[in-house]
Structure 1
Amino acid sequence: MAVGGQFPTDILFDIFSRLPIKSLLRFRRVSPLWCSIIDDPCLAQMHQLRRAEEPKVLLVDLPAHEPDVMLREDGAFLRFAADSKACNILEGCCNGLLCFTKKVRKFQISPLFLFNPARQEVVEVPPPCMEDDRGQCRRKYGLGFDCSTNTYKIVAVFEGFDLCGAQVYTLGGGPWRAINKGPPCGLFGFGKPIYARGGLHWDIVDGDIEGKKIVYFDVHEEEFGFISRPKLSSCDHLVELRGELAIVDLSSNENIEIWVMKVYEEKKKKEWVKEYKIGVKGVHDNAQVRVIGLCEDGEILVKGDFHENYFFYNPKTDNLRYTHVPRLDHRTHVLCHMGTLLSIAMFRAD
């Protein structure tokens, strides 16, 4: 293909939106025109909608020995090493971006960072602060995407002595804004939120609420609420599968069942559908098993009952195969990650 504008820009946009991110980032060096198109946020949006990228297994090392943010291939895996001086707590991930905070001393407010591993870019976000907080209340973060405005948002939930509430930050459209009505119950102690279908989701157990509930935060409406869940045992967890919210049922020692929430817009209803049944007789202790997510070729990554014990399940063949994760330690997060072409450098404060 000749450089110099032989093809109209809209055709280049269409071609680039179908190519892998790794190739596109190399193509940025071809010409200033190609670089400007590849860095255009509109292309990142088209690329995401067309799902031109296949999810890959991402190993997130926190902290790392490497001095800089970097992404490298490690066999069949991608490995992301973050600057140990910058961050060491993974708060959440959404559409190719990762959100981190730095562990600090008591009564100090943790710095907040966003990372794009594909582009090896980092942006520091100003931390939220409630009036008269003085760093004494706990903070819990979630990263989500507002499809209607094509913007990323961070929600911060506060819990303290006489303080509670939530604030929202729009990437590129700060400052932090207070939410009139905070979460309907405490969210601390229930892990990181799962982003799916335009919302952040926490699976919680509260003594004041009957049974287990799913608390959600609508990223567009910026409102909290509850979602009903299927009546399963207490041995389960939430996971995102290609944009859908799912619950993993681990009550059986022979099978892992995965229920996916289906949304029927025309009927204006939601219902849980059992979509996967993975036979794991004799290979796991359900107290330790976690379903990580969907990877390339539609395979489901499952963490077994030992630290480095991981399996790929192929729904087409109903086969389960072991995979070795290289140099894994207790500080490594294993994610099914689909990268984003979006450059977050434009949001970096001067």
Structure 2
Amino acid sequence: MSSCFDLPEDIVVKILCRLPVKSLIRFTCVSKRWCSITSMIISDPKFGKSHFQLASQQRALRRKVLLTSYPTVREPGPRPNACYDPNSKLPPRFQSLEDKYLVKNFTFPSKKNAYTEEMGSCNGLVLVGNPCFGGYENLSIWNLSTGFFRKIPSPSVREKLIKSATDQAYRYFINFGFGHELASDDYKLVFILCALGQLVEVHIFSMRANIWKAITAPHLSRADWDSGQGTFSNGAIHRVVHCRSESSDPVIYAFDLAEEEFRQVPLPPVLWQNEEDRNPTEITTLVHLGGYLCIWSRKRYNPDKGEVWAMTEYGVPESWVKLFNFRVPDLPDVFASLYSTWDLCFITESGTMVISLSKELFWIECHNDEKPICSGRYRLEEVHPEVPGCVFHFHATAYDETLLSVAE
């Protein structure tokens, strides 16, 4: 076994670059020598980038489901409801859903983990933060695969949010997003500050420069913004914005991380062929693991129908392609009585919808005109084993298994 390290170092690195992250981390447990050599290589940021680039080119990234479970309590009464417990000392649970639905638990690296939320993922780096009275605090970047953890300083916008929270006539909202700017190899966090439906400021944190900066937001006519998370795709943070006028169509606004400016992305025009369905249609952006910008539309007053579209050539209106067109009665029987509570989490590279419903995840195949089928199902642990009356609310998202880190 010792002779394997008699190879030139560049050959060893090329071999290791072609191995999955899970195997590389296991090598550190073989022996002290393996631990020393392998740890030194995989902790090198340059190796992490090379490993990620090669895996991306060969479509060999290990994609997994990150489950974040938040503690909730049941309100007393004849019809108890679960609600968040802001005073709970129970930390959230971070788990990875592995192959064959095996669960791997992660230990959060910081002691300040009470009510920590997952706020987005990009290239295996997960953005986490604590929701608070003024937005978010204790922001950090975390690589669950390697344990890399880096804190992000709080933005100055938080002070403005705290002051506005008591002013009912002028309350602020935050849209946020997290993504990678390819040209400068920089990861950026964006907070879009809104008031009375209008953009006010955009606060941008550069991981490379380690600073926040604020820019004045442009006036975007007819837009009515609210709080929420944007979708990162093609170098920009996307969000569907509904307009004040009911006779106006919603639009997708994209904040370009390189240019640090907004642009409008066209929606599929066929969504509006039926004028009667125009107003009640709700549209949101979502993640397609193949790299496409996707939208999910369903009827506001009749949510048992849904459509999913993908923009196969970014920025080209004619490239919108309908991936799914389904009705809840066509889905597996479990959806029939609970359709109003289901949510579409993301779409896999192979085109499978991953849907959350109550305390379960479902993998739904819905191709062409065939009847949708359930190809996978996983039920989460609902009740806390040590705390009576405590249950978990969960959020599911996709993340990549990588060795990437971001130096300060």
What range is the shorter-chain TM-score in?
Answer: 0.7 to 0.9
- Check whether the contact 2:252–2:267 (CA below 8 A) recurs between aligned residues: yes
Q: List alignment gaps of at least 5 residues for structure 1.
A: none
1:26 and 2:20 aligned: no
- Check whether the contact 1:294–1:336 (CA below 8 A) recurs between aligned residues: no
Match for 1:246: what amino acid? Answer: C
Match for 2:63: what amino acid? Answer: P
Distance 1:65 1:301, change over 3 A: farther
1:165 and 2:193 aligned: no
Question: Residue 311 of structure 1 corresponds to which residue in structure 2?
Answer: 362
> Secondary structure at the residue paired with 2:6?
coil
The counterpart of 1:60, out of the listed 50, 68, 71, is 68
RMSD, aligned CA: 3.7
> Secondary structure at the residue paired with 2:403?
coil
Quote the offset at 1:120 in angstroms: 2.9
Match for 1:224: what amino acid? Answer: F
> Secondary structure at the residue paired with 2:49?
helix
> Secondary structure at the residue paired with 2:65?
strand
- Per-residue CA deviations over 1:59-84 (Å, capped at 9, x if unaligned) read 11235977798656674344556468
Of 310-319 and 55-64, the range deviating more from structure 2:
310-319
CA distance in 2, matches of 1:79, 1:300: 24
Give the TM-score, by structure 1 length: 0.80
1:195 and 2:232 aligned: yes
- The structure that is helix-richer by fraction is 2
Question: Residue 41 of structure 1 corresponds to which residue in structure 2?
Answer: 45
Question: Residue 142 of structure 1 corresponds to which residue in structure 2?
Answer: 177
Question: Residue 313 of structure 2 corresponds to which residue in structure 1?
Answer: 263
- Check whether the contact 1:71–1:117 (CA below 8 A) recurs between aligned residues: no
Distance 1:264 1:186, change over 3 A: closer
- Per-residue CA deviations over 1:68-111 (Å, capped at 9, x if unaligned) read 9865667434455646843523332222222222233x458733
> Secondary structure at the residue paired with 2:346?
strand
Of 294-303 and 235-244, the range deviating more from structure 2:
294-303
- Per-residue CA deviations over 1:297-329 (Å, capped at 9, x if unaligned) read 66431234xx02432124689642351222145
Identity across the alignment (%): 22
The counterpart of 1:237, out of the listed 284, 307, 328, is 284
Question: Residue 342 of structure 1 corresponds to which residue in structure 2?
Answer: 404
CA distance in 2, matches of 1:93, 1:177: 22
Q: List alignment gaps of at least 5 residues for structure 2.
A: 72-87, 165-171, 272-276, 383-390
Of 141-150 and 17-26, the range deviating more from structure 2:
17-26
- Check whether the contact 2:112–2:138 (CA below 8 A) recurs between aligned residues: no
> Secondary structure at the residue paired with 1:275?
strand
1:94 and 2:111 aligned: no
> Secondary structure at the residue paired with 1:126?
coil
CA distance in 1, matches of 2:39, 2:400: 22
> Secondary structure at the residue paired with 2:61?
coil
The counterpart of 2:186, out of the listed 148, 151, 161, is 151
Q: Indicate the structure (1 or 2) with the bigger Cα radius of gyration.
A: 2
